[in-house]
Structure 1
């Protein structure tokens, strides 16, 4: 079991939404070591931040992917590498770039046919949307940030490093990884998951009329919006029901009148 995972995949870790900002970034211990961080994108945790320290003059390998799930077949997140010595980031991104860092952004939107990846130990499949190797010229702290530019919820994973190292892994870790990985990929005993992704919207400033309207609808706290199906009958439906009821009542009165005349006869 140990060698099956180690020979085929990155060392996995799992986000529960806590690595959503610069201040709470997941720590990469060594950018050369092969790891993967699985993340569920929610309206409350729309970004995934990973932090690394570089000694300079070394390569950072980054992969971006999503699990093979039908509803995510068109999900196309983006990833940015931020580090000292990189060019000033001129592209608009949905987060603040730390002072002193440049960056580069990679978008998977143009990808029509992702690369298929099958992990035999967990029996899970992923779509690899992009991979890149960036030279980090200067020493210091940098970040890898992933998000969905369309503002949709979903799932994504970020992998870094190429050197497999499972020397600090206990045998019991593998059973936990198996369960968590299958749950994330919604396969095996978790294949009956019923999930609907939603569109997240920016929160209006506190106290604004837009926020008040959202509060009235009861969905401001989530930061999410989905298609609300109005369960109240439409006006046309009510009119049709009224016409049908009137016609039915008239028919009953006519039938009753006819029977009375027949009885008198």
Structure 2
């Protein structure tokens, strides 16, 4: 059996309809507490996968309340060495229009107060100051880009992902600041997830879809209405993207 590919589902992917499950899904209990929801083991697009819903069943966990450490540890303990994280994001720059598929290459972390490392105490072992120069695994990023391009999705092959605290959406002034800082997209769950994956030795990349224009850039359209309309279209694209990329890993 090959190593399973870890998939973290976000707002844009609440479940994998086409997965053939291998037994009942249970909520893993790790040294850092329980994962957000059941870890689904199965086969998707001909590959072994482990799927976990980041926000839990029913989208009940706010971004700051997610047990990111437990989710990453559960995937690592299940044998995953590669993790694809699905994310719904807001578009800051003009190129990041609703519906755009984006594979970010950098992160700026504006979140706070989250358990962001496995090295909180000596039980984690010898302290490792991870190199986080490039927060996403280059080969996995390129595989996502190639698969999206092959489907005709015209992916944005690079973007800076600004991570905010949530659960509220941002003010227009906050988005203006983030654009000055160099952010292209905004979301609430990119960190500490990416950093923890690096600490755990996992290849991690983010497959994101822009579901709304960020605050102050909406052109008068209500943000929540825009999100719901785009999510309805994005779900099929995300699953097709996964079906295309998984056999190449």
- TM-score, normalized by the shorter chain, greater than 0.5: no
TM-score by length of 2: 0.27
Higher share of residues assigned strand: 1
TM-score by length of 1: 0.26
